[in-house]
């Protein structure tokens, strides 16, 4: 695939290849029929990052192929980007090339957009940013009708706000999310909504209380809270914890508690191996957990967390790495059976696959 270019005519073939690879990899676990959730064939990426390549006095968007970091590929079109990104890119580049203050020592630009049309652009420099830059960026923000952030070493200038607002219409309601510029968010909004609805559907009748590890900004936490009496969600990133708490309040949800802990720390707390001041006001023994929800990083669940998760009757697992999911399922399927499995095409035209499984105790 050309960098940044969608190829709609190849979409069905690339998706079918992912389906067949997934079926082959997981057949030894005897899963039920694989549910497949498609992505739009173009304009699916809600965020994007570009290097700025300076050549003959002009700035250009550029990306690099893996392993070829001295050979920039100029990006003239970016049809995998959201329609908002596609609209902003030429307008921003024109403004950069028309103003030396904006262009000088600019080395990276990042876009974060939402399905509601909200957008924030981060401009990253190898120079200090002064009041003149701020005034120019403020005018640019008004012209482009988006938020702008300027960054350089030990410096961050925010024009308006450093977050966007996303809104999802899901099967059990409408949810609004603050997505902070530096925080983790799902890059494909359409597939994210499929993932959320799949998790809602597969936890609808589990009851009891929910434990969630790696909750991020509350992406899954908010809609899943409607399926459980109470939710205890953990996250280690301070930025994500603050966003999650903001989102809980914004959506007027009262049955979620957030604890700033890593999965390893929570496992130690649950095993009563270690006490944490961050849990002093959270009575763990009062929870009646029926289900654990995990959406770990690419490394999957560490051995101790896997053992802890295996104690739960129901396990909902979203994975961004099928290979570490396989490793975890090798252990978890000794005590649990796979009752539902899904493939989410989060990153079309790449080898990346996102999977979801529901496991129930045997």
Burial class (CB in 10 A: 0-12, 13-18, 19+), 220: buried
Task: Measure CA 229 to chain center.
Answer: 26
Q: What pLDDT does 278 receive? A: 85
Position 90 scores a pLDDT of 98
- What local confidence, expressed as pLDDT, does residue 65 receive? 80
At residue 281, the pLDDT reads 86
Q: What pLDDT, on the 0 to 100 scale, is given for residue 275?
A: 84
Q: Return the pLDDT at 270.
A: 86
- Active-site residues: which are they? 320, 354
Q: Write down the pLDDT at residue 288.
A: 95
Cα–Cα distance between 120 and 110 in angstroms, integer? 8
Q: What is the CATH number of domain 8-41+188-361?
A: 3.40.50.150
User: Percentage helix, strand, coil, to 5, in the chain?
Assistant: 35, 30, 35
Task: Please give the model's pTM, rounded to 2 decimal places.
Answer: 0.94
Task: Please give the chain's pLDDT, 362 residues, in tens.
Answer: 567 788 999 999 999 999 999 999 999 999 999 999 999 999 999 999 999 999 999 999 999 887 776 788 999 899 999 999 999 999 999 999 999 999 999 999 999 999 999 999 999 999 999 999 999 999 999 999 999 999 999 999 999 999 999 999 999 999 999 999 988 899 999 999 999 999 999 999 999 999 999 999 999 999 999 999 999 999 999 999 999 999 999 999 999 999 999 988 988 988 888 888 888 888 888 999 999 999 999 999 999 999 999 999 999 999 999 999 999 999 999 999 999 999 999 999 999 999 999 999 99
Within the chain, all domains assigned CATH 2.40.50.1070 are found at 47-161
Find, among 196, 281, 267, the residue nearest to 236 by Cα.
Answer: 267
Q: What are phi and psi of 281, to 5 degrees?
A: -100, 10
Considering just the CA atoms, what is the radius of gyration of the chain in Å? Answer: 22
What is the pLDDT, as a whole number, of residue 45?
Answer: 97
Collect contacts of 12-17 with beta carbons under 8 A, ≥24 apart: 14/348, 14/349, 15/345, 15/348
d(CA 331, CA 335): 8
The three-state secondary structure class of 301 is coil
Architecture of the domain delimited by 47-161: Beta Barrel (2.40)
Residue 2's pLDDT is 62
Domain with CATH 3.40.50.150 in the chain: 8-41+188-361
Nearest CA to 317 among 305, 69, 63?
305
């Amino acid at each position: 695939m050309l960098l940044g270019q969608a190829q709609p005519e190849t979409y069905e073939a690339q998706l079918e290849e992912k389906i067949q690879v997934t079926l082959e990899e997981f057949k030894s676990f005897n899963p039920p029929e694989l549910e497949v959730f498609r992505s739009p064939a173009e304009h699916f990426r809600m965020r994007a990052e570009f290097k700025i390549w300076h050549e003959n006095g002009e700035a250009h968007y550029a990306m690099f192929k893996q392993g070829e970091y001295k050979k920039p590929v100029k990006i003239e079109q970016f049809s995998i980007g959201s329609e908002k990104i596609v609209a902003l890119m030429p307008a921003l580049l024109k403004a950069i090339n028309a103003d030396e203050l904006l262009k000088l020592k600019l080395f990276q630009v990042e876009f974060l957009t939402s399905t509601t049309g909200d957008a924030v652009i981060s401009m990253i420099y190898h120079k200090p940013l002064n009041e003149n830059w701020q005034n120019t960026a403020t005018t640019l923000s008004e012209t482009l009708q988006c938020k702008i952030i300027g960054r350089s070493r030990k410096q961050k200038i925010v024009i308006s706000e450093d977050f966007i607002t996303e809104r999802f219409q899901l099967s059990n309601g409408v949810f609004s999310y603050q997505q902070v510029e530096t925080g983790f968010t799902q890059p494909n909004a359409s597939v994210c909504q499929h993932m959320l609805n799949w998790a809602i559907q597969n936890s609808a009748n589990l009851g009891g209380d929910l434990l969630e590890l790696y909750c991020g900004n509350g992406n899954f936490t908010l809609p899943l809270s409607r399926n459980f009496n109470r939710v205890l969600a953990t996250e280690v990133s301070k930025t994500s914890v603050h966003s999650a708490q903001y989102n809980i309040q914004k959506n007027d949800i009262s049955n979620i508690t957030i604890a700033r802990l890593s999965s390893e720390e929570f496992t130690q707390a649950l095993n009563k191996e270690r006490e944490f001041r961050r849990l002093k006001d959270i009575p763990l023994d009062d929870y009646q957990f029926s289900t654990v929800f995990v959406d770990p990083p690419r490394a999957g669940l560490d051995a101790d967390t896997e053992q802890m998760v295996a104690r739960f009757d129901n396990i909902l697992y979203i994975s961004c790495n099928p290979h570490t999911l396989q490793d975890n399922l090798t252990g978890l399927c000794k005590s649990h059976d796979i009752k539902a499995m899904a493939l989410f095409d989060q990153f079309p035209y790449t080898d990346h696959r996102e999977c979801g499984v529901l496991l129930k105790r045997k």
